[in-house]
Amino acid sequence: MAYNVEDFLAENVKPKNETKEVKIKGFKSPFIIKALTADEFNEMQKQATTSYINKKTHQRIQETDQGKLVDLMMAEAVIQPDLNNEKLQKSWGCIADPAGVLKKMLNAGQYADLGQSIQEISGFDIDSINNYVEQAKN
């Protein structure tokens, strides 16, 4: 099967700016989330990763703080409400902390559901992620 390079040119590919409304109980307006690009995800992964030298093996070790990565993803993907809005941050007592605002606004289940919606719209296969988690537990 032959392919046409034209099919892969930026102007011929579906735009990446996909959004989705997510209704959350207790809020009059829906949350609006956007799909994260691979570049955005990689940048967040870098921000959530620390490296150090193991003193015994002298090898560089990199560790990703999964909680921080999730917080960065959530804060970046939520476009409504504007988590950087000063009035919203003051209302929830989380100045200069967009992820903190979101955590205060939502209960744990709502936060997890919103996170799953963000992963789905961003192209992550939730079943595969859940399978990896189960495998890691065993």
Residue 8's pLDDT is 82
Domain 17-123 has CATH 2.70.150.10: no
Residue 4's pLDDT is 86
Tokens 């709502």 locate to: 110
Going residue by residue through the chain, which has 138 residues, state the pLDDT in tens, using 9 for 90 and above: 678 888 888 888 776 678 999 999 999 999 999 999 999 999 999 999 999 999 999 999 999 999 999 999 999 999 999 999 999 999 999 999 999 999 999 999 999 999 999 999 999 986 655 554 455 454
Q: Where are the domains of the chain?
A: 17-123
> Mind giving me the DSSP string for 100-112?
HHHHHHS-HHHHH
Global confidence as pTM? 0.79
Instruction: Say how many residues make up the chain.
Output: 138
